[in-house]
Structure 1
Amino acid sequence: MPQPIRVGLIGAGYIASWHGDALKACPDAQVTAVCDLSEPAAEGLAMAYGAVPFTSTQALITSGACDAVHILTPPQLHAGLARQCLNAGLHVLVEKPVAVSLEETRAITEAAQAAGRRFHPGHNFLGLPSYLRMKEALKAGEYGRVSQAEISWALPLAPLRSGPFGLWLLREPKNLLLELGPHPFAFAVDLFGPLDILHAEETKPIALPGDDLRPQGFRILARAGGTEITFHLSMVETVDDRSVTLRGSSGRARLDYAADTLVVDRENASDLIVNPLRRQLDLGWQHLREGLRNAAVQSASLNQKGPYAQSFRGMMAAVYGPLANGQPQDSRFSAESALTVMQALEDAIAKLPPAALAVTAPAVQTRKPKPTAMVIGGTGFIGRALTRKLVAEGQDVRVLSRGQHGPFPDLPDRIETAAVSLHDLDALTQAMQGIDVVYNLARSLETSWADALVNDVGVSTRIAMACEAAGVKRLVYTGTIASYDMSDPQTQITEETRFPEDMTDRNLYARSKAECERQLMKLHAERGLPVTIARPGIVVGAGGPLQHWGIGRWHGAGAVRIWGSGRNILPFVLIDDVADGLIRMAQNPAALGESFNLVGEPMLTARGYFDAIAERLGARLRVSSGNLTVFYASDAVKYALKTHALRKKGLVRPSLADWQSRAHLSPFVNDKPKAVLGWQPESDRARFIESAIGSANLFGF
């Protein structure tokens, strides 16, 4: 029996766990190495798979720990890393887009050929079981002669409207097509061969900060042989429609590749009334069959084999089965496929109007900023609004970010962006030189308490120590109202309300933020740390998301299950009011050592909020109540299964109070920030709704 191929993951971000879990389920491969510039990220992911962590690609290569690598970094790094690894004798699988140009894709291919190694594009949806059924039926002629195909990718892309705006895919308009186009184009290439691109246009442009336009959709017309192909890509708030529809002389097949279902609409030989009845019954039985099959797979695997996970498992089997057994490369995941897909993408980009590809030049800097305020987390929703309000009030600002591409290209005279690791005390201290006020809006969403202690509590404490060393006059830290026990409708919450003594059964975000506050206030009491705590409510307004998880559990853009009945008043607050409150907290001497709940005036219930969306925007969402006891019971069952069946450790034990707190059942009193800070949140209902909904661009158009 052949030995499993040893695989290294280069890049430990979000997509890496999908690759790692799929490789773990593949008998012909095993994860033996993880490489990331961030040592904690590399170590954390490596521990999950029993692999060796590295912080440089060369160190991974030199170690001899793997036979193949997956390149999972930002796209602009793909080509260089792939060639480096191929030249070192390693096989490579490169996440989509495999490169940023056809030229780079050719360079990877040539490096693979020269090294005698394999180059695989990461077009994972081609590994779906339902797609293979569609492809086999097409080849067998079951759909007859296929004249038309329609391939859609309709899925909201929130960063276009709410950031972060420094992502690679937003830096140029063409990057959006390079990022989203590989999956639809890979389907077409695999089914019909090379594409002749006839027309391409962008749709629904939206202005990023600095009035830099980006398309929120593309419509592309192509031809392959005798088949006309239409591509629809949509990134506004829309119903998830990721599908491949084939229209043939004998049937119309629709693959929902987001749900891993395939349904075929065929004619039948019955007459009159029976004909349409049989047709609809047939479709109904097919939908039932697909739903039952997926439910059975999900249940048997304890939710480990969802459609997305299945696509990765199928890809790994197709890549490593042939590689381990000395068989030819699967054409779906071949260098030739990567080249053909990238050729089609480049042809589509060339067909777009030149104006659609233009990038607005950033404003010319006329003076160097002299920042006296620092915003950590300044590229987020609250951070962007705070930074711009600080500038509007005459302050220059230094924004700490993971990269140099911030959301302020129109303010080069007033804002500077610094890339500083929050784990580097010396670098943080140096970055705070000359700074009077530091606003710490950083947040870390971890999956274990151990990680939260390092990446959230440890980071907030390190920032505080840097403030002390740099002589910062005020640190404003943003906690969260989620740390309160909000399960009792009869208990009013003020700043005097204490967090629960035992928070081990609270969600990690609430628990971690509470611990951050505790440590900071301890430093204030023992060493005089000049800190003030802010706890914003459910923040809404321009730049915020439609799918706000502080209100309920979302199922796409059109359906939400509210936490609870949705009839209690929620602690909404406008983003501009939060920014104003944060600045007042930094300026007011009476705020030193105090905490403030930045919650707006009692205004809307969850149901009232969605009614206002329907009335103001003409969009009626499917809104249903969520039984909190049922949520808790379901969470408890999952906890038991994960703990005992899957042997996972470090999970949070669920509690009913935690679920009830998500509904914000306890009312808030906002007297303190109004009395101490002179804070005046919006009190007029009509103006509140206009700011929160009417002018917030919730749907992207």
Structure 2
Amino acid sequence: MPTRVGLIGAGYIATWHAQALAATPGVEVAAICDLSKDAAAGLAAGFGAQVFTDVQSLIDSGSCDAVHVLTPPHLHHAIAIQCLKGGLDVLVEKPVTTSASETREIALEAEKAGRRFRAGHNFLGLPSYERMKAAVLAGDFGRISSAEITWALPLVPLRSGPYNLWLLREPRNLLLELGPHPFAFAVDLFGAPEIIFAEAGKPVMLPGDDPRPQAFRILARAGAVDITITLSMVESIDDRSVTLRGSSARARLDYAHDTLTVERENASDLVVNPLRRQLGLAAQHLKAGFGNAWVQATSLNTRNPYARSFRGMNAAIYGAGDGGSDPRFGQDGAVAVMTAIDDTIARLPQEVLKVAAPAAQTRRPKPTALVIGGTGFIGRALTRRLVADGRDVRVLSRSSSGPFPDLPDRVETIAASLHDLDALTEAMRGIEVVFNLAKSLDKTWADCLVNDVGVATRVAMACEKAGVRRLVYTGTIASYDMSDPGVTITEETGFPNDMTDRNLYARSKAECERQLMKLNKDRGLPIVIARPGIVVGMGGPLQHWGIGRWHGAGAVRIWGHGRNILPFVLIEDVVDGLVRMIDAPVDGESFNLVGEPMLSARDYFDAIHKELGARIRVSAGDLHVFYASDAVKYALKKYALRRTGLVRPSLADWKSRAHFSVFSNDKAKAMLDWAPETERARFIEKAITRANLFGF
């Protein structure tokens, strides 16, 4: 009989767990549980699993032998204990809990119930790490004197949101979220570490003048091994590694790419010695590179290093003949990891851990504007501009917390489902203007119709029922055919009649506009449509995919040759245009909010180098190669992986990503009296110099 596993939580990480479980012999994904029935059903459909919306129902159903707890971390403790008492084994995603004491309580409950408790320290399941540990145990590196364990990966939400994530609620949450990775390596290799020193640095201000550190440095010791742990979240090259220094060799594990290289001394003479040393390293890198490329190519990228880490973890837990007692993922290691994190937090200066108290509320807001998507890049700036103009604002979000703790008298954040017409209508009571900035990035056209087009029309219906005076909807310039450099695009240009060969985002947004304009024509819906260009400025990301395909913070393959002027626009100019749409006599009109012609993609990156001293490696992207490569991937996914609902964008669609066509913003300037930035130097200052692109 297979081991039946249920997943509690249907968010991003659940997909990785589900796919790895499905690839593990003797295991089946039996159930998905999430408060959102739609989210649970969407994930369950791919695995033939049952759907639940509460944990106790899953337990009572008898459908599972074990569960993976994948909810936000502050919920792990209660759910894990509930499942253990219900007779289920549990694996808890990292961080296992928010403290060592809670982790011990789960371990005690597991022992009491006679069930297994495992920690989701997935990187310990990588094949390259297994080789490193085996070599350590065999003494192949000699006596280990020191270890450096690094997690250096940009954490974009620290600088550009969304700010209502659990990991940003307190400074300690950043350590709780990222610390388990390096500490799991340290505990598994050397045992429980003693924390000697800890410091935090590179703070960034969250809304409400609430600082968060973007770097931690931790010194620890386990036996005779000195351990340095570095966590870095600013924009930097991806360096997630474990380096061991032994008397016989230096070993470096790159756990982001599942490679292990070992540098050894050799007995050659002084001339040949350095050559032989570097040739040995080169051979290892070539072997690792070709090996990883072969694995990913033959598996159609379903076994990338991150996926392999989950597969390795599940194989250790469910594939062992002893029932899965691998100590890498056992409760003792979980307790040791959380104890080390607790001790690290205790070593940090208390001022680093403080959360800025939200401003005291002196009155309840009386909103006249509603912003849907108000926690995003444009939504945050728009909300603050509305407040500056004297309006109170209601922000519709997935949760009731938002990035406006400094504005309690002027902004209220409420949670309401975009699929609930009654809830949306109620949220619009007393509202004069609604800004719908929501978007849904779906993988099939059927999902787009439900989650994007359906939501846009439902918001419009709610506006009608609530008597809203104006609805402002944000479409996208991506819906245009921008493949021809000889075409100047205006609001009269129109979208292609047949968009079935366009990418789903462009097609879906165009269909939203079509439905909204139909409601305007047939029923008088007071709609205005805004299509922002490539929006840049404070609060926006460095790695903007409207410019090119990024490979970390240091390299980008731009769409096309990169010499044509791009439709950049400053965030403050976009917001100004949106605000001007409130009262202007422009019902049923659309506006392309594109700034004055300023920079090409290459100009933009040259300006980053000049202003910030950061030379990003820029490569031209041949759009015919992109198109051909995409065609091959499409065929493999459709015929080899048997996936359905796939879309293959046309060559014109790929060329449109380069924004070859020129835009005219005359209509917005004439009808809205809109005046985007005209001076290149001021544009660069706002878009780059003062935009905090790198986080420090």
The answer to whether the superposition gives a TM-score over 0.5 is yes
Q: Which secondary structure state, in structure 1, belongs to the residue aligned with residue 404 of structure 2?
A: coil
Matched, 1:649 2:647: no
Counterpart of 1:327 in structure 2 is 323
Aligned AA for 1:471? Answer: G
Aligned AA for 2:438? Answer: A
Q: Which secondary structure state, in structure 2, belongs to the residue aligned with residue 673 of structure 1?
A: helix
Q: Please point out which of 165, 168, 184 is paired with 2:166.
A: 168
Counterpart of 1:471 in structure 2 is 467
Query: How far apart are the structure 2 equivalents of 1:88 and 1:458?
Result: 40
Counterpart of 1:285 in structure 2 is 283
Query: How far apart are the structure 1 equivalents of 2:446 and 2:8?
Result: 24
Matched, 1:665 2:660: yes
Instruction: Trace 1:452-601 onto structure 2 (pairs within 5 A).
Output: 452-589=448-585, 591-601=586-596
Matched, 1:618 2:613: yes
Aligned AA for 1:261? Answer: T
Contact 2:203 2:211 in 1 (8 A): yes
Query: How far apart are the structure 2 equivalents of 1:501 and 1:7?
Result: 47
Query: By how many angstroms is 1:328 displaced?
Result: 5.3
Deviations 1:21-59 (A, max 9, x none): 101100121101111111111111000111111111122
Contact 1:639 1:654 in 2 (8 A): no
Matched, 1:267 2:262: no
Query: How far apart are the structure 1 equivalents of 2:583 and 2:6?
Result: 50
Deviations 1:663-688 (A, max 9, x none): 00111010000000000000100000
Query: By how many angstroms is 1:558 displaced?
Result: 0.4
Query: By how many angstroms is 1:326 displaced?
Result: 4.3
Query: How far apart are the structure 2 equivalents of 1:145 and 1:627?
Result: 50
Q: Which secondary structure state, in structure 2, belongs to the residue aligned with residue 228 of structure 1?
A: strand
Deviations 1:146-192 (A, max 9, x none): 00000000000000000001111000000000000001000000000
Q: Which secondary structure state, in structure 2, belongs to the residue aligned with residue 633 of structure 1?
A: helix
Counterpart of 1:359 in structure 2 is 355
Aligned AA for 1:279? Answer: R
Query: Which has the larger displacement, 673-682 or 60-69?
Result: 60-69
Query: How far apart are the structure 2 equivalents of 1:553 and 1:36?
Result: 33
Contact 1:96 1:121 in 2 (8 A): yes
Query: How far apart are the structure 1 equivalents of 2:587 and 2:166?
Result: 40
Q: Which secondary structure state, in structure 2, belongs to the residue aligned with residue 389 of structure 1?
A: helix
Query: How far apart are the structure 2 equivalents of 1:496 and 1:57?
Result: 53
Query: How far apart are the structure 2 equivalents of 1:220 and 1:315?
Result: 27
Query: How far apart are the structure 2 equivalents of 1:488 and 1:62?
Result: 61
Q: How many residues are aligned here?
A: 696
Q: Please point out which of 309, 312, 322 is paired with 2:310.
A: 312
Name the % identity. Answer: 72
Counterpart of 1:695 in structure 2 is 690
Matched, 1:207 2:202: no
Q: Which secondary structure state, in structure 1, belongs to the residue aligned with residue 333 of structure 2?
A: helix
Structure 2, unaligned runs of 5 or more: none
Aligned AA for 2:308? Answer: Q
Aligned AA for 2:680? Answer: R
Contact 1:573 1:598 in 2 (8 A): yes
Query: How far apart are the structure 2 equivalents of 1:87 and 1:425?
Result: 39
Query: By how many angstroms is 1:85 displaced?
Result: 0.9
Contact 2:317 2:324 in 1 (8 A): no
Contact 1:28 1:317 in 2 (8 A): no
Counterpart of 2:681 in structure 1 is 686
Aligned AA for 2:138? Answer: A
Deviations 1:242-286 (A, max 9, x none): 000000000000000000000001000001110001001101101
Instruction: Trace 1:633-644 onto structure 2 (pairs within 5 A).
Output: 633-644=628-639
Query: How far apart are the structure 1 equivalents of 2:323 and 2:504?
Result: 47
Q: Which secondary structure state, in structure 2, belongs to the residue aligned with residue 648 of structure 1?
A: coil
Contact 1:11 1:71 in 2 (8 A): yes
Contact 1:94 1:120 in 2 (8 A): yes
Q: Which secondary structure state, in structure 2, belongs to the residue aligned with residue 263 of structure 1?
A: strand
Contact 2:149 2:230 in 1 (8 A): yes
Contact 2:318 2:324 in 1 (8 A): no
Query: How far apart are the structure 1 equivalents of 2:601 and 2:459?
Result: 36
Counterpart of 2:37 in structure 1 is 39
Counterpart of 1:389 in structure 2 is 385
Query: How far apart are the structure 1 equivalents of 2:350 and 2:381?
Result: 32
Deviations 1:592-647 (A, max 9, x none): 11000000000000000000000111111100100000000000000000000000
Q: Which secondary structure state, in structure 2, belongs to the residue aligned with residue 149 of structure 1?
A: strand
Contact 1:538 1:571 in 2 (8 A): yes
Q: Which secondary structure state, in structure 2, belongs to the residue aligned with residue 27 of structure 1?
A: coil
Query: How far apart are the structure 2 equivalents of 1:327 and 1:561?
Result: 47
Deviations 1:336-384 (A, max 9, x none): 1100000000000000001110111000011111100000000000000
Deviations 1:476-513 (A, max 9, x none): 00000001111111111100011111111111111111
Counterpart of 1:115 in structure 2 is 113
Q: Which of structure 1's runs of 4+ aligned residues deviate more than 2 A? A: 325-328
Counterpart of 1:253 in structure 2 is 251
What is the alpha-carbon root mean square deviation over aligned residues? 0.7
Query: Which has the larger displacement, 398-407 or 562-571?
Result: 398-407
Structure 1, unaligned runs of 5 or more: none
Query: How far apart are the structure 2 equivalents of 1:626 and 1:660?
Result: 10
Q: Which secondary structure state, in structure 2, belongs to the residue aligned with residue 156 of structure 1?
A: coil
Query: By how many angstroms is 1:654 displaced?
Result: 2.6
TM-score by length of 1: 0.99
Q: Which secondary structure state, in structure 2, belongs to the residue aligned with residue 587 of structure 1?
A: coil
Query: By how many angstroms is 1:445 displaced?
Result: 0.7
